[in-house]
């Protein structure tokens, strides 16, 4: 049996919290026990018993001030957005005017505080890469206390990469930082207990947690759903939505045959021979939006019953220690998924939500949509689709060779998209003021010279 001692020593030297070390040890033992973490297609059936958001909202009153005061908003804020050319927290991207994701999140929480008359808590799960920039930006909210790490920050952990041949901690003296990797957003649970935040929240009477990604503007607190969650006694609720072709690689909901338990299956947990079934959106219809509602008191009980570790399934990723050097040492990176907690809570539920609650910004196309008039944001930072969208956001497909990086949008301009079904752009363009896109419109430019789109209405 391989010894975990070298990993424990390395993590202790780095100051990693004992709760995170225990969680990583559990994943490591799964690895050395030759557990692949794979979930074969034959072991599951598609999820069918899913609650409906619209039915819930139509039949539930808004949460009382007392219930709202017992809720904390947790935003996962560890992403840098490097694929879009960013070197800072993605949540600091400007969206509407000077407002960033973070400004809108703060506005939402301040509005909740006004409604409840209490200091509804906000926690930002920062990484070592986003902490400094985020806290510096929040200085503008110093009078509200949002700038203090002790008030808003939940720090993400890091874990060692594992040499795939020796099962020892990977070493890379040229760049020691590359010996470490993120543990996945399943790190939320050890971070909550290891930081002391879980005990503090419970001490302060906080019972419910609303958790989502900071770059998903659609994931906003709904007081009717909060009331339903409180009344349901469900310990864990995952927001899911119907998969489309663009979501077929995302983690989907399923039911494990052996015990009829709802589970989450990520693509990294799917055997190669089952990929076609994994991506079958008619068979596996629901994917995880990474928006969760959790009873903190029950989370605490489960952690206490499992020696401080939520028993999440391990996800094994095969990489090289230097991801930019294919000749560097092969390693395993172990992680867990936050949504996989659905199988750890007896009575956990899934709710099918409208697509408007899932607006992540992963590409410049996503960002252009949010900056356009197809999305309206009110004074409380709440978002809704405008125009003739009728709850379905326009599809934006920008040429990835030209508009991959955020800065490239500056030269493109922002047309009116509120009555658009689909906009496709291939080649370099510039939209002048008062360009209106209606229906499905394609712009193609095979030359290297930027083509001007003059003011006017373009429609299919």
Q: What is the pLDDT of residues 353-376, one digit of tens each?
A: 998 899 889 899 999 999 999 999
Element (H, E) at 110: helix 101-116
Same domain, 261 and 390: no
- Are residues 153 and 120 part of one domain? yes
CA–CA separation, 99 and 22 (whole Å): 40
State the CB neighbour count (10 A cutoff) for residue 457: 12
16, 104: one domain: yes
- Give the per-residue pLDDT at 70: 97
**Other C-beta atoms within 10 Å of 70: how many?**
20
Calculate the alpha carbon distances from 228 to 25, 115, 151 in Å: 37, 18, 28
Chain position carrying tokens 């927290």: 89
Same-domain check for residues 318 and 383: no
Q: How many CA atoms lie within 13 A of 91 on its CB side?
A: 31
Residue that finishes a domain, picked among 335, 357, 379: 357
* pLDDT over 70 (residue 352): yes
Domain identity same for 384 and 419: yes
CA pair distance 253, 47, nearest whole angstrom = 6
CA-to-CA dists, residue 245 to 102, 242, 280, angstroms: 30, 10, 9
What is the side-by-side strand order in the sheet with 315-320?
A: 162-163, 330-335, 315-320
For the whole model, what pTM was predicted? 0.94
Angle at 119 (CA atoms; ends 114, 123), nearest 5 degrees: 115
Non-local (6+) Cβ contacts of 87 within 8 A are 80
Tell me the average pLDDT of the chain.
Answer: 94
Residue 388: band (very low, low, confident or very high) from pLDDT cuts 50, 70, 90:
low
How many structural domains does the chain have? Answer: 2
Between the alpha carbon of residue 166 and those of residues 28, 159, 162, 204, 212, the distances in Å are 13, 17, 8, 46, 37
Mean pLDDT value across residues 240-262 = 91
pLDDT in tens, 36-62: 889 999 999 999 889 999 999 999 999
Instruction: Please indicate, yes or no, whether residues 352 and 374 belong to a single structural domain of this protein.
Output: no
pLDDT given for residue 285 in this prediction: 95
State whether 56 and 165 are in the same domain: yes
**Residue 87 has what pLDDT?**
80
Between 21 and 249, name the one with better pLDDT: 21
Query: In terms of domains, do 88 and 223 share one?
Result: yes
- Final residue of a structural domain among 302, 325, 357: 357
Q: What is the DSSP string of 16-37?
A: --HHHHHHHHHHHHHHHTT---
**293 in the same domain as 168:** yes
Q: At what angle do helices 5-13 and 18-32 cross, to 10 degrees?
A: 150
* Tokens standing for residue 105: 């999140």
Instruction: Please give the average per-residue pLDDT across 95-122, as a whole number.
Output: 94
User: Rounded CA gap, 246 and 450, in Å?
Assistant: 29
Q: Are residues 322 and 374 in the same domain?
A: no
> End of a domain among 324, 357, 390?
357
Range of the domain at 313: 5-357
Q: In this structure, are 193 and 211 located in the same domain?
A: yes
Closest CA to 183 of 12, 26, 1: 26
- CB count in 10 Å sphere of residue 198: 22
| Bridge partners for 351 per DSSP | 51, 239
Looking up residue 454, the CATH number of its domain turns out to be: 2.160.10.10
Q: Residue range 408-435: average pLDDT?
A: 95
pLDDT tier at 334, thresholds 50, 70, 90 = very high
Same domain, 94 and 152: yes
Long-range contact pairs involving 161-164 (C-beta distance under 8 Å, separation at least 24): 161/319, 161/321, 161/331, 161/332, 161/333, 162/28, 162/31, 162/331, 162/332, 162/333, 162/334, 163/329, 163/330, 163/331, 164/318, 164/329, 164/330, 164/331, 164/332
Q: Residue 248 — very low, low, confident or very high, per pLDDT cuts 50/70/90?
A: confident
The CATH code of the domain that includes 286 is 3.90.550.10
pLDDT at 427 over 80: yes
């Amino acid at each position: 049996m391989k010894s975990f001692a070298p990993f424990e020593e390395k993590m202790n030297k780095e100051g990693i919290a004992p709760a995170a070390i225990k969680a990583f040890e559990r994943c490591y033992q799964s690895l050395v026990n030759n557990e692949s973490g794979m979930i074969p297609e034959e072991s599951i059936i598609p999820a069918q018993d899913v609650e409906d958001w619209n039915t819930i909202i139509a039949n539930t009153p808004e949460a009382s001030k007392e219930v709202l005061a017992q809720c904390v908003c947790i935003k996962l804020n560890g992403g840098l957005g490097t694929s879009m050319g960013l070197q800072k927290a993605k949540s600091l991207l400007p969206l509407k005017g000077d407002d960033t994701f973070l400004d809108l999140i703060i506005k939402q929480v301040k509005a909740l505080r006004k409604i409840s008359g209490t200091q509804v808590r906000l926690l930002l799960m920062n990484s070592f890469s986003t902490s400094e920039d985020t806290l510096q930006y929040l200085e503008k909210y110093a009078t509200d206390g949002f700038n203090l790490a002790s008030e808003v920050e939940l720090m993400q952990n890091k874990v060692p990469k594992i040499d795939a041949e020796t099962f020892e901690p990977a070493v890379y003296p040229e760049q020691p930082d590359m010996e470490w990797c993120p543990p996945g957003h399943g790190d939320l649970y050890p971070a909550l207990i290891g930081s002391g935040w879980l005990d503090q929240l419970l001490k302060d009477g906080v019972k419910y947690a609303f958790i989502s990604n900071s770059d998903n503007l659609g994931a906003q607190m709904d007081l009717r759903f909060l009331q339903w969650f409180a009344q349901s006694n469900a310990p864990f609720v995952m927001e899911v939505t119907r998969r489309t072709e663009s979501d077929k690689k995302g983690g989907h909901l399923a039911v494990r045959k052996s015990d009829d338990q709802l589970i989450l299956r990520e693509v990294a947990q799917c055997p190669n021979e089952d990929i076609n079934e994994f991506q079958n959106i008619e068979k596996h219809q629901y994917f995880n939006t990474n928006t969760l509602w959790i009873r903190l008191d029950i989370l605490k009980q489960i952690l206490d019953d499992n020696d401080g570790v939520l028993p999440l399934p391990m996800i094994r990723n095969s990489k090289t220690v230097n991801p930019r050097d294919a000749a560097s040492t092969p390693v395993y990176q172990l992680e867990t998924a936050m949504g996989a907690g659905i199988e750890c809570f007896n009575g956990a539920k899934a709710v099918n939500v409208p697509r408007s609650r899932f607006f992540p910004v992963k590409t410049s196309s996503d960002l252009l949509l949010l900056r356009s008039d197809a999305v309206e944001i009110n004074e409380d930072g709440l978002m809704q689709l405008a125009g003739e969208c009728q709850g379905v956001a326009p599809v934006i497909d920008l040429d990835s060779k030209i508009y991959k990086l955020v800065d490239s949008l500056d030269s493109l301009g922002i047309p009116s998209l509120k009555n658009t079904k689909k906009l496709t752009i291939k080649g370099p363009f510039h939209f002048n003021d008062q360009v209106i896109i209606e229906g499905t419109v394609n712009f193609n430019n095979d030359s290297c010279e930027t083509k001007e789109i003059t003011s006017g209405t373009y429609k299919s």
